[in-house]
């Protein structure tokens, strides 16, 4: 029997763990991974007993962003990142979400994790908003959530430079997240989830709604602006060349 690329399991009462494990595609946004995530969050939204979600990856991968085919489809005008609202699944989830980024968070994969209510990084892993490495401006709400979560100066550096940063380096730069050895990330996430799950579910839902309401309201405008930038930057011939070169032929 093949292993599902997204596994959903209630590991303790009220605590659901959502594990991305598309080993063939190294947790890029394959059709199977995207479908699995969206169906899983729909299931979570419909469940009246869950109180908190732990979103994580496998081994040394958290989430690796767009696939080669997906990026080329946008380059050719056949798709856009907003076709599926993957990036804000955690933000839109009514119960708190913990991003246990035990592995690499690349491009849209890192951005998706930042939309969670709690973020945990690993010291060994690479985190990058590498959109500009391909020559196109950032999408998936990156120009909004990265400055919101990391602060403007560091976010501007990450978004413009598109370089790779280890969790240990980001920790030294003063990011407001817990950064741990990879082997300790899930234990910490579970303990945090237990603390959250002690609270009444209704109170958790109401408080999260209040706290993230401004983000949900402002995000749609930012996404429109990112799409407008994509119209100017994504369809360049150089972008296609970079996608092909960076992914390999």
Residue 160 is assigned to a structural domain of this protein = yes
Binned at pLDDT 50, 70 and 90, residue 1 comes out as very low
pLDDT mean over 123-138: 97
Q: What CATH number did the domain enclosing 116 receive?
A: 3.90.226.10
What's the total number of domains in the chain? Answer: 1
29: phi then psi, degrees, rounded to nearest 5: -80, 65
Give 137-194 pLDDT, tens digit per residue.
999 999 999 999 999 999 999 999 999 999 999 999 999 999 999 999 999 999 999 9
128: β partners:
106
Residue 193 is assigned to a structural domain of this protein = no
Give yes or no: 230 in active site.
Answer: yes
Q: What is the pTM of this model?
A: 0.96
Task: Specify burial of residue 91 (Cβ count, 10 A radius: 0-12, 13-18, 19+).
Answer: buried
Q: Is the dihedral angle over the CA atoms 73, 77, 79, 81 positive or is it negative? A: positive
Sheet holding 97-101, edge to edge: 6-12, 15-20, 52-56, 97-101, 118-122, 178-180
Residue 208 is assigned to a structural domain of this protein = no
Residue 176 is assigned to a structural domain of this protein = yes
pLDDT mean over 63-86: 91
Residue 216 is assigned to a structural domain of this protein = no
Contact 82, 62 (CB under 8 A): no
Residue 65 is assigned to a structural domain of this protein = yes
Residue 202 is assigned to a structural domain of this protein = no
The pLDDT of residue 249 is above 70: no
Give 202-232 pLDDT, tens digit per residue.
999 999 999 999 999 999 999 999 999 999 9
- Domain housing 123: 6-183
pLDDT mean over 70-75: 94
Residue 230 is assigned to a structural domain of this protein = no
Q: Which of 115, 139, 138, 113 is nearest to 126 (CA)?
A: 113
Return the pLDDT at 20.
98
Return the pLDDT at 19.
98
Give 46-62 pLDDT, tens digit per residue.
999 999 999 999 999 99
Binned at pLDDT 50, 70 and 90, residue 82 comes out as confident
Sequence-ordered list of residues with C-beta below 8 angstroms from that of 69, at least 6 positions apart, any chain:
none
């Amino acid at each position: 029997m093949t292993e599902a690329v997204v596994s959903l399991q209630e590991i303790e009462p009220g605590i659901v763990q959502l594990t991305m494990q598309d080993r063939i595609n190294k947790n890029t946004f394959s059709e199977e991974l995207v479908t699995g995530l969206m169906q899983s969050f729909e299931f979570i939204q419909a469940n009246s007993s869950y109180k908190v979600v732990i979103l994580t990856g496998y081994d040394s991968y958290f989430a690796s962003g767009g696939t080669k085919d997906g990026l080329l489809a946008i380059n050719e005008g056949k798709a856009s990142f907003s076709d599926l609202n993957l990036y804000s699944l955690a933000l839109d989830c009514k119960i708190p979400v913990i991003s246990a980024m035990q592995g690499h968070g690349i491009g849209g994969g890192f951005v998706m994790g930042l939309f969670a209510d709690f973020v945990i990084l690993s010291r060994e892993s690479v985190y990058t908003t590498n959109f500009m490495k391909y020559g196109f401006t950032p999408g998936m709400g990156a120009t909004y959530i990265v400055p919101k979560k990391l602060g403007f100066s560091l976010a501007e550096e990450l978004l413009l430079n598109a370089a790779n940063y280890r969790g240990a380096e980001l920790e030294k730069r003063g990011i407001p997240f817990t950064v741990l050895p990879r082997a300790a990330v899930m234990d910490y996430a579970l303990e945090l989830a237990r603390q959250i799950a002690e609270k009444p579910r209704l109170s958790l839902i109401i408080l999260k709604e209040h706290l993230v309401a401004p983000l949900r309201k402002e995000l749609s405008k930012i996404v429109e602006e990112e799409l407008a930038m994509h119209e100017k930057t994504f369809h360049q011939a150089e972008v296609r060349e970079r996608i092909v070169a960076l992914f390999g032929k």
